[in-house]
Amino acid sequence: MKVGFVGLGIMGKPMVRNLIKAGHQLSVFDVNPECVAETAAAGATACKSAKEAAAKSEATITMVPDGPEVEAAIMGPEGALQGAQRGALIIDMSSISPLVAQKVGAACAAKGVDFLDAPVSGGEPKAMDGTLAIMVGGKEDVFKKAQPLFQAMGSSATLTGPVGAGNVTKLANQIMVAVNIAGMGEALVLATKAGLDPEIVFNAVKGGLAGSAVLNAKAPMAISRNFKPGFRIRLHQKDLRNALLAAESMKVSLPFTSLAQQVLMALMNNGRGDMDHSAIATFIEDMAKVEIKKP
């Protein structure tokens, strides 16, 4: 397919490379010209706007930080909707509020453009190896049309409901990940403070009920003191904020999500917003005056 791609950050660049590898023709745009040049060097066509990228494409993907950027990238004066032809497809793979996804979907429908909200889970490592978990909201026939693109970027793509459902599912995912990392941090801080080797404790529990993909990915990062961002704290805080706003609109109480969001906010205020979200554990470390590391 001829594919436009808007947003060439930590996630977007490897997703573009996997689409190119699968044989798709990519036209790309980002507000950072250096990212555009780097991606063009990998085989994509550089564009000067989302509008231009969409005009050259059958399907346009956006992968940007939050709702306001999605609205600008799709509905703005130089947005993808201005360039997309009737019958074209726009897929937003950002993690945003379900209400914003529905607003963008309605704007696309008014212009005869198909729309899917399709946020992802897996962070930079899975974006690089093309094994993202993709959570999709939209119509089944449109979902089927997008399958070749999803197969190039992910190991699974699941239609979870109408437009907006993809982002509800992603918010559920982000709640589970944040609370899981926080629990891991508390557990390994306790073990370290008790004089144990946290790596041995991690290896002892990972095969039992406490084991998870989150534990396997994030415990080694905390133990090795490697907080290079695969998924930044400030972006996870944004996701939990969106989860709490959605919950408020539905009168759902999310006490543990609220606590995790406050921890993330505190870490941002301490200058750690661009660290990997495995650094949630450092909040517990600060209170205990101990670092999770080998004795």
Residues assigned a catalytic role: 170
**What are the φ/ψ torsions at residue 79 (nearest 5 degrees)?**
-80, 170
Say how many CA atoms lie within 13 Å of 29 toward its Cβ: 25
211 Cα distance to chain centroid: 22
CA dihedral sign, ordered 75, 93, 252, 182: negative
Torsion of CA 278, 134, 81, 69, to 10 degrees: -10
Helices (H), the chain: 12-21, 33-41, 50-55, 67-75, 80-83, 98-110, 123-129, 140-153, 165-193, 198-205, 213-224, 233-249, 255-269, 280-288
Record the tokens describing residue 199, joined without a space. 């790596």
Distance CA 187, CA 185 (A): 5
The candidate with the shortest Cα–Cα distance to 81, out of 108, 53, 121, is 108
